[in-house]
Structure 1
Amino acid sequence: MKLLRSTVHPDIQNLDSQIITQRLATRAITMQGDDILLLYTERYHDYSLPGGGLDEGEEQVDGMIRELEEETGALSIRNVQPFGFYEEYRPWHKDNADVMHMISYCYTCNVDKKLGNTRFESHEINNGMKPVWINLHEAIEHNLKTIELSEKKGMSIERETFILQMIADKKQQKES
């Protein structure tokens, strides 16, 4: 799988002197026409790809399917293909670590437009997370405004917006 981007959060000055923990995650890219299946999170006022951390020993595709089903209620997940991975180092103050090294493995897939029931975790419910089909370009524009104007944005919005812009670019290239 190809590297999409590698980033280091601006608050991290030097990785050599840090205690680093690693988190492996997956993200699902599901489109129908110009609409993409995303999660809207009220707390952060942003759109993100469905996905999350892999369980110990879990295969990447299995984790992506599990997260997609849990967070969106997606039905009939099929045609799973690798898209690329995004690597980031960001501040972390748990697990006796200073920095989290997050690797998000992204996959494209198809699902039915109609969604089933979600199985959100309590923090996802508390953050006001909900699955939505939205126009890809509207989601990008919304996130860009949140990055520019919101004080409550989360740390993942830059990653999510970068990946959404890559999706839009690849879609435009295919249509040209």
Structure 2
Amino acid sequence: MKQLNSKPIVPLPGSHFIRHAVRAIVTRGEEILLLYTARYDDYTLPGGGVDEGEEIEVALSRELLEETGAESITHISPFGIYEEYQSWYKPDFDNVHIISHCFVVDICGSFTEPQMESYEQANGMRPVWLPIKDAISHNRETLANSNKKGQSIYRELAILETVAKEIMGLNID
């Protein structure tokens, strides 16, 4: 898969561990399926961590079901990898090196009620379809003007801008 980072990643000082994650890119026309998180006032791609011994495609299906209620996905196509370092909140390591495997997928069939984890519910996370340009504008505004922003907004904005240009053929400047 191609590298989605526009600049080389630089490790943060201190100890770190590697966490593999999956991110789903689901589009229909100029809309994209995202998660809105009230706590951070941002839009993110559905996805999350790959469990120990779990296959990437299985993790992708599991995360989509948990976060959006999508019961079945088809046409899984690799899009790229985004790497980042973030501060870690537990005492065993200072940082985490997150390697996000991004895939373009189609959703087949119906949606059920999302089965979010308790912290996702507490953060006010919910699935939404919206025009990708609106999501990009909103995340840019949050990044520029909000003290609520989470660490993931840099990743999400970079990936969304790349998706808009390369998959949807949109001019987003």
Give yes or no for TM over 0.5.
yes
Unaligned 5+ runs, structure 1: none
Alignment correspondent of 2:19: 23
Sequence identity percentage: 47
Alignment correspondent of 1:82: 78
CA–CA distance in structure 1, aligned partners of residues 88 and 170 of structure 2: 39
Paired residues for 1:20-169 under 5 Å: 20-94=16-90, 96-112=92-108, 115-169=111-165
Alignment correspondent of 1:7: 9
Q: CA deviation at 1:96?
A: 1.3
Task: Say whether the 8 Å CA contact 2:164–2:170 is kept in structure 1.
Answer: no
CA–CA distance in structure 2, aligned partners of residues 163 and 99 of structure 1: 22
Q: CA deviation at 1:116?
A: 1.7
- Amino acid aligned to 2:61: I
- Per the alignment, do residues 61 and 68 of structure 1 end up closer, same or farther by CA in structure 2, a change over 3 Å counting? same
CA–CA distance in structure 2, aligned partners of residues 154 and 101 of structure 1: 16
Task: Say whether the 8 Å CA contact 2:61–2:72 is kept in structure 1.
Answer: no
- Amino acid aligned to 2:49: G
Task: Say whether the 8 Å CA contact 1:38–1:131 is kept in structure 2.
Answer: yes
List per-residue Cα deviations over 1:70-98 (Å, max 9, x = no partner). 10001331111000110111222425111
TM-score (norm 1): 0.90
List per-residue Cα deviations over 1:116-172 (Å, max 9, x = no partner). 210000000000000000101000000000000100100000100100000001134
Task: Say whether the 8 Å CA contact 1:82–1:106 is kept in structure 2.
Answer: yes
SS at match of 1:3: coil
TM-score (norm 2): 0.91
- Per the alignment, do residues 114 and 33 of structure 1 end up closer, same or farther by CA in structure 2, a change over 3 Å counting? farther
Task: Say whether the 8 Å CA contact 2:78–2:102 is kept in structure 1.
Answer: yes
CA–CA distance in structure 2, aligned partners of residues 116 and 135 of structure 1: 22
